[in-house]
Structure 1
């Protein structure tokens, strides 16, 4: 009997050690990719407790930038991402914010962790970074935050960046899986500015068919760090005090010889009427597929929460999936 009891104790001990090991792996998984200590950014520690099955999930790091005024578009965009995600894919969402971002709005985003098991959120306080950067129109300093991704996600090899004026219609593991080993970055040709603006080509020295939209990007973070791309971004911004398209011009000018063109379906830009004619830089077959079966819908022009535009009803569908639909309706009551 004593031997049986001892055997049971040994089995219990082994199981306990195994369980502790599993918990350690899960916590490490959610807390990896912390920023380089030299950046001195503060992370929000209120991250979701993962469950035992998460250890077998595929992993995709996502980065978004937002502010207090864009909290609802950010929530709706991430809701669409997780509603349409493959549950075998785990999304770690890094939210880049300035120090003005309220705790109340952090809580609005953290709601996602309570509804979706395959995600966790981490807030990166960018403090006063880019306070002196050139901004115009509806563009704010937060648009520049993406330029710091390589150093902040210092332990990641790749990541996806998304503007928050987007709706994600399908899982993004296909996008994340593109082989861009030889490139700094991957993106979709810009719908308008890469086609018509000859002046931009002359000013930036970027061929029109190499000019991408910066609203959806796949970063090769390892190559960006090796080539010190962030320093080149900073140099370009300092030399061009009033670049007309801000971070997008910066990315295209610095990285143009290391850009991989993504299929149009990964950034269907609704900034104009979607005619049957595909823009230069976009293959007709890819254009048709993108229109018929978009993976990411992007609203770089007229916003769906402000007026009725192409696919505006789709944005409101995902707004209704959030617990903030009445607040959203009240804020944008003139458009819905």
Structure 2
């Protein structure tokens, strides 16, 4: 056998060996891709660009962040917009607990089945209005403010008993920051909750029509009543807004916060402890009493409020509103109504009701 023929045979054998190695590597790569994507319907990496919702779902890692929000039937559009803003602006593993009444459940589920929300994790808790029996005033002048779900935040541990920490949000908010940052708000030892003070730089001294200056305890409680005087609280103490709460649920349960709040609710029905200038804030006085000098502070940029109050929201510049991490339209003028400040910001997160029952008044009436 000539040397030339030997060289040819060696080259052929090397080529065969190379092809075998390449084939095995390709088979191993195929098995790897199958295993890596078996839990997401075998979506290959290059296909993720075609599935942005799935991509968002895949990057959500870490422990669950419980967010509690209430859903009143005639305000479901607000709930959906708030949830959408939280979900789209965070990569955190957010799990919503939506507290509602029986007659709202089916409507809520249908709305949340929208393709833009189909990956949102949520569970529905049905509130029992009987919990409030004998605890709230039957004064017809404030019945609107005594809707059962207004008090749902008093019972937070009941909805998520397995959680140690959670966030409560009012429905008339839009979240523009990453909710993970709010969740990481530091609570001092022994504190069951954190709120934004009404004397903070972002929302200080809000003038609310019909209520006067409500940035201190005097705006919410009647300091002439003996039950209030004996507590030794200072009337000029800065109040807080309970539309955004970061909660240490372990401390809440250990300190029997729910029972304390119920005590002051019941006592008010007998002794009328709330300030006569109070405006749509009947859930706030018991919280002010129970958490007097016993609460931590939420960053004011995580609760920029008064956007629904007469003239108050207009004092914010467009640049400030854009920089805010959470916007709250507390007050009479809601962004889905005829008139409110910065309703265009809220519109960005609203998703049309598939049933057609809810619609922003501005759009429906042509007032936009």
TM-score by length of 1: 0.71
The match for 2:292 among 250, 253, 256 is 256
Say whether the 8 Å CA contact 2:69–2:169 is kept in structure 1. yes
1:294 aligned onto 2:324: yes
SS in 1 for 2:110: helix
SS in 2 for 1:124: strand
Distance 1:252 1:305, change over 3 A: same
Say whether the 8 Å CA contact 1:187–1:212 is kept in structure 2. yes
Q: Which residue of 2 aligns with 1:29?
A: none
Distance 1:220 1:303, change over 3 A: same
1:266 aligned onto 2:290: no
1:308 aligned onto 2:347: no
Distance 1:249 1:330, change over 3 A: closer
Distance 1:106 1:249, change over 3 A: farther
SS in 2 for 1:90: strand
Q: How does 1:116-195 map to 2 (within 5 A)?
A: 116=117, 119-132=120-133, 133-134=136-137, 135-137=142-144, 140-182=147-189, 183-190=191-198, 191=203, 192=206, 194-195=214-215
TM-score by length of 2: 0.65
1:223 aligned onto 2:251: yes
1:246 aligned onto 2:282: yes
Say whether the 8 Å CA contact 2:336–2:361 is kept in structure 1. no
Q: How does 1:51-130 map to 2 (within 5 A)?
A: 53=58, 56-85=61-90, 87=91, 89-111=92-114, 114-116=115-117, 119-130=120-131
Q: How many residues align?
A: 278
Say whether the 8 Å CA contact 1:181–1:220 is kept in structure 2. no
Distance 1:128 1:201, change over 3 A: closer
Q: Which residue of 2 aligns with 1:200?
A: 220
Say whether the 8 Å CA contact 1:194–1:208 is kept in structure 2. no
Distance 1:330 1:163, change over 3 A: closer
From the CA coordinates, give the structure whose radius of gyration is larger. Answer: 2
Measured against aligned partners, the alpha-carbon deviations of 1:55-111 in whole angstroms (never above 9, x if no partner) come to 8334210000122111111111111111212x2x11110011123324123321343
Structure 2 residue runs of 5 or longer lacking an equivalent are 1-31, 41-53, 207-212
Structure 1 residue runs of 5 or longer lacking an equivalent are 1-14, 24-48, 278-286
Aligned-partner Cα distance in 2 for 1:263–1:52: 28
Aligned-partner Cα distance in 1 for 2:239–2:156: 20
Distance 1:261 1:201, change over 3 A: farther
Query: Over aligned residue pairs, what C-alpha RMSD do you find?
Result: 3.4
Aligned-partner Cα distance in 2 for 1:173–1:128: 32
Deviates more, 1:92-101 or 1:129-138: 129-138
Q: How far is 1:289 from its partner? A: 9.5
Aligned-partner Cα distance in 1 for 2:355–2:324: 24
Q: Which residue of 1 aligns with 2:242?
A: 214
Q: How far is 1:120 from its partner? A: 0.8
Q: How far is 1:249 from its partner? A: 1.5
